[in-house]
């Protein structure tokens, strides 16, 4: 574990709920770590996307879409979490590049 990427703990914490993501943001204030920042943005995007879709499903009453949404959320969450554990910075399929652009305020 001594050869692990700096910021790995912060990156992993970011994937544990939206609160974990907020904690990771504060953990990465000083010193700033690019690996952690990458994964914080990915995790933040995953969590925000899930909450937005959940709110939309609630108000549109499209209950039959809830199972595919949960499956999609779990798949992209696991992908991102495993990337952080394996110390890689591969963006999420389709949305990962956008999360890096949209959440530039996370530094």
pLDDT digits (tens, 9 = 90+) for 40-62: 999 999 999 999 988 888 888 77
Residue 5: pLDDT above 80? no
Measured on CA atoms in the order 73, 41, 83, 19, is the torsion positive or negative?
A: negative
Residue 107 contacts residue 32 (beta carbons within 8 Å):
yes
At 53-100, the pLDDT tens digits run: 888 888 887 778 888 888 999 999 999 999 999 989 888 888 889 988
Residue 2: pLDDT above 60? no
As a whole number, the mean pLDDT across the chain is: 87
Residue 36 contacts residue 7 (beta carbons within 8 Å):
yes
Task: Please give the pLDDT value at position 3.
Answer: 54
Number of Cβ atoms within 10 Å of the Cβ of 8: 18
The rounded percent of the chain whose pLDDT value lies above 70 is: 96
Which residues fall within 8 angstroms of residue 8, CB to CB, at 6 or more apart? 35, 36, 84, 85, 87
Both tokens of 45, joined, read 């995007």
């Amino acid at each position: 574990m001594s050869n692990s990427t700096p910021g790995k703990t912060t990156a992993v914490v970011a994937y544990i709920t939206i609160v974990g993501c907020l904690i990771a943001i504060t953990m990465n204030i000083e010193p700033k770590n690019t690996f952690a920042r990458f994964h914080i943005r990915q995790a933040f995007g995953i969590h925000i996307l899930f909450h937005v879709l959940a709110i939309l499903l609630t108000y549109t009453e499209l209950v039959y879409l809830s199972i595919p949404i949960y499956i999609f959320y779990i798949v992209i969450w696991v992908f991102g979490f495993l990337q952080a554990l394996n110390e890689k910075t591969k963006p999420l399929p389709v949305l990962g590049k956008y999360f890096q652009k949209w959440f530039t305020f996370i530094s």
